[in-house]
Amino acid sequence: MATVPDSLNSDYQQVIEATWQYCLNFLNANTREIYLPGNIQAAIGEEGIRTLVDRYRQYIGQPVEAYFIGQIGQYRLAPSSSNNSPPPPSGQNNTPIPPDPPEPPARIAEPSNRPRGKKATIPRPRNCFILYREYWNAFFKTEFPDETNIQRSKRIAAQWHAEPANVIDEWKGRALHEKIQHALAHPDYKYAPRKPSEKQRRQSRK
């Protein structure tokens, strides 16, 4: 069966490293608080959160607590106020506001073909099969140039269903890596499916 070069474990470690570097970049030196996007748990899971807590505990040399603050939609990592005190409820009114992130470097505006007034659409992070399909579609396009896109899609789908679990896991690792990078780059992102009218408009252009 087809194989990919990266292992799931290696890919997941890259995800954790990227998130940990993000934590250090936005660490408030005065309060020693770290705020993470609210969708971070969906990207790295409970185990990933525990790993970050353990790393931060070792980094500052004292117990650390992490909890989600509903008011601002973010996760907070900070030194424990008391070893026996439970995390504050997500709706409390005295929730500290995280420090503003540093201003990004100025960029030269690039010309765009997008109509004025229309916002740029942030694409969803790709799932494991989409990543797999794109990878092998490019390969088969070169190997079988006479095949149609439909024929390649059928070939790739059949190959995907025949892959062993370890290969599927490797592609899940790639998808996880993209998901965490997407969550860090777009902390306010929310998936908004197209309305039926927009779908019809798009189909009519084809």
DSSP tag of 29:
T
The whole-number pLDDT of residue 133 equals: 94
Contact assessment for residue 34 and residue 26, using Cβ atoms and an 8 Å cutoff: yes
First to last CA, the chain: 36
Alpha carbon distance 35, 73 (integer Å): 10
User: ∠ CA(41), CA(43), CA(49), 5° rounding?
Assistant: 40
Q: Which of 172, 189, 174, 171 is nearest to 40 (CA)?
A: 189
Band (pLDDT 50/70/90 cuts) for residue 56 is very high
In this prediction, residues 79-99 reach a mean pLDDT of 46
Residue 97 clears pLDDT 60, i.e. is over it: no
pLDDT top residue among 54 and 191: 54
Band (pLDDT 50/70/90 cuts) for residue 6 is very low
Q: Which of 137, 115, 110 is nearest to 126 (CA)?
A: 137
β-partners of residue 165 are: none
Band (pLDDT 50/70/90 cuts) for residue 17 is confident
- φ/ψ of 172, rounded to 5, equals -65, -35
β-partners of residue 75 are: 36, 68
pLDDT top residue among 21 and 196: 21
Here the tokens at position 61 are 């040399």
Residue 57 vs residues 32, 52, 79, 144: alpha-carbon distances, Å: 11, 8, 8, 54
Residue 93 clears pLDDT 70, i.e. is over it: no
Band (pLDDT 50/70/90 cuts) for residue 175 is confident
DSSP tag of 51:
H
Here the tokens at position 143 are 């190997």
Q: Are strands 34-37 and 74-79 parallel, antiparallel or unpaired?
A: antiparallel
Cβ partners under 8 Å of residue 83, min gap 6: 63
- Of 40-54, 148-162, 186-200, give the lowest mean pLDDT range: 186-200
Alpha carbon distance 43, 185 (integer Å): 12
Band (pLDDT 50/70/90 cuts) for residue 69 is confident
β-partners of residue 35 are: 76
